Amino acid sequence: MADIIKATPLAEILERYPAARRVLDRHGLHGCGGERGPAETLEFFARVHGVDAETLLAEIRAERPTPAPIPYESTIADYIYRRFFKAGIAVVLTVGALWGAVNLLEIALRRNFLLLQLVPAIHAHAHAMIFGWCGLFVMGFAYQSFPRFKHTTLWRPNLANLTFYLMLTGISARIGAELLAPEALGLVLGGIASALELAAIGLFVAIILKTARKSVEPHNPYEKFIFASFAWFLVQAILSDVFFFAKATAASQEELIQRIALLDGPLRDIQLLGFVAMIIAGVSQRFIPVVYQLGRPKRDRQTPIFWLMNSSLILGVCSYILTLMTGKALFLLGLETSFILMLTWAVLLVRQLGVFTTPGERDRSWKFVRAAYVWLLIAMVMLPLFPVYGILTHQYFAHSFMGAYRHAFTVGFVTLMIMGVAARVVPILAGIDSHRLSTLWWPFILINIGNAGRVVLQILTDFVPRIAYPLVGVTGFLEVTAITWWGIELWRVMNASQARRAAAVMVPPRVLVS
């Protein structure tokens, strides 16, 4: 084994020295890259799994060779992520982004962002995006990566599989419920959706906690972001149900508008800044510096970032509700303070990750990750300007500005991040060299143009509605085209690994490599 060096691809090591699988499994390989193993080098594996490359080399060299190849058997824990990612793509391309684009077109044609009759469709879209797009990707990624990061195996993979069906059925029921409420069938569907989604998320959190307990690895500081995100995941699911039933039981249109005004903002903040931003911050700190070789942060600011994220969210939610209920200026001050704190954590996080320094290693996903953080900064700079914009344009609640901020965050930051991380991780899991795949430049360009167009034009609808409305109606379809392009490519990569797994049952591994 002396000829193995740090630059040797894992697939080559496993092909020539099958006994190395035992060592690599101990450090978290477990089915990653399938039968053949990932195309990445030993050095990359060591970096990402937090092992010293020299130690790993020594362990592999010391491992006793096996006379016959170690039989490779994949379990559901090895490929469970695929069904979550595929369902996430299916959701985003139907009731998610596509429906959002259709809603936006209707808004553009009627030149009004405040159409009450569109509220059920927009809320159904928002639900599909948070639970189906973000939720399914987070769950799939967590089931796949968390055990490997913790050098252990997933607790109860079959239960994890059940959460997939619970979540998907729950999302479908909720979409029907949003459209049918306040009719009785809508309320029944809402109740079913609530039970299924809460069960799915509750079980998901329990499975990850049990998996963490199985690990003998010491607790890592980034994990507090992950667990806080999961706590917010549960909180938002409960609040989302409260929101649904509050809307469905409103006695009049005025009461409906009042309830939406009170609950919608806090719910969206908890979903986006609690659940989604927190998981991205946690995964980013674990993943980005090591994958792209950005070096260690000069000053580790994990703890202040963590507390700023949580406290600014709680302050923002409380201040918003109290402002609306009392009308007192003091609480407006609290809201503005929370916005400034949110901008602060975003700046600290970007500096901590070093995403604007030169990466030691890059591939097609890097541009998505870096652009996602540019969009995070844009969105967070917009937040403290929200009240200023309202005063300047004489609006009590500047809906166009808030909508533009939200889109900068949900598509610019969140969606680009999902696209980037998936474009990096899925080929590794499939055992395919990402440098041989599409560069994804077109989806990247289209989604950025669509997103920039939406953010700028939605604000411009306040000033030049005749020009801005028709143009903003097109931006959604640019984004949908981008996500479709990326989604088809990702789906193909996942299918390629599936096909190879099926072939591996019949073909000896040596033939597969040649």
DSSP assignment of 148-199 equals: HHTTS--S-HHHHHHHHHHHHHHHHHHHHHHHHTTSHHHHHHHHHHHHHHHH
Strand blocks (E) in 52-171:
none
Closest CA to 490 of 430, 412, 445: 430
Q: Is 479 in the site for ligand HEM (CB under 6 A)?
A: yes
Single residue of 101, 196, 288, 369 touching ligand HEM by CB under 6 A: 101
Q: Is 133 in the site for ligand HEM (CB under 6 A)?
A: yes
Two structure tokens written together for 385: 């300007």
How many binding residues for ligand HEM (CB under 6 A)? 25
Q: Is 97 in the site for ligand HEM (CB under 6 A)?
A: yes
Distance CA 91, CA 89 (A): 5
Q: What residue type is assigned to position 123 of the chain?
A: H
Closest CA to 239 of 147, 127, 395: 127
- Look up tokens 């003091």; give the residue: 330
Provide, rounded to whole angstroms, the least separation between the CB of residue 388 and ligand HEM.
Answer: 19
CA count, 13 A, side-chain hemisphere, 289: 17
Question: What character string, x for contact with ligand HEM (CB under 6 A) and - otherwise, covers 403-442?
Answer: x--x---xx--xx---------------------------
Provide, rounded to whole angstroms, the least separation between the CB of residue 278 and ligand HEM.
Answer: 14
- Look up tokens 């991205």; give the residue: 280
CA count, 13 A, side-chain hemisphere, 447: 31
Provide, rounded to whole angstroms, the least separation between the CB of residue 335 and ligand HEM.
Answer: 18
Q: CA geometry: angle at 480 spanning 189 and 144, to 5°?
A: 70
Strand partners, 9: 41
Point out which span in 101-109, 228-236, 249-257, 325-333 binds ligand HEM (CB under 6 A).
101-109
Point out which span in 21-29, 97-105, 216-224, 372-380 binds ligand HEM (CB under 6 A).
97-105
Point out which span in 118-126, 338-346, 385-393, 424-432 binds ligand HEM (CB under 6 A).
118-126
Residues 247-276 interacting with ligand HEM (rule: CB under 6 A): 264, 268
Single residue of 13, 32, 126, 207 touching ligand HEM by CB under 6 A: 126
Put residue 247 in one of left, alpha, beta given phi > 0 → left and psi -120 to 50 → alpha.
alpha
Provide, rounded to whole angstroms, the least separation between the CB of residue 486 and ligand HEM.
Answer: 12
Q: Is 125 in the site for ligand HEM (CB under 6 A)?
A: yes
Residues 368-407 interacting with ligand HEM (rule: CB under 6 A): 403, 406
Single residue of 53, 122, 235, 374 touching ligand HEM by CB under 6 A: 122
Q: Is 484 exposed, middle or buried (0-12, 13-18, 19+ CB in 10 A)?
A: middle
Point out which span in 82-90, 98-106, 217-225, 332-340 binds ligand HEM (CB under 6 A).
98-106
46 contacts 56 by C-beta, under 8 angstroms: yes
Q: Is 476 in the site for ligand HEM (CB under 6 A)?
A: yes
Q: Is 174 in the site for ligand HEM (CB under 6 A)?
A: no
Q: Quick one: 102 or 203, whose CB is closer to ligand HEM?
A: 102
190 contacts 174 by C-beta, under 8 angstroms: yes
Single residue of 20, 80, 104, 493 touching ligand HEM by CB under 6 A: 104
Distance CA 21, CA 70 (A): 8
Which residues contact ligand HEM by CB under 6 A? Answer: 97, 100-101, 103-104, 107, 113, 122-123, 125-126, 129-130, 133-134, 264, 268, 403, 406, 410-411, 414-415, 476, 479
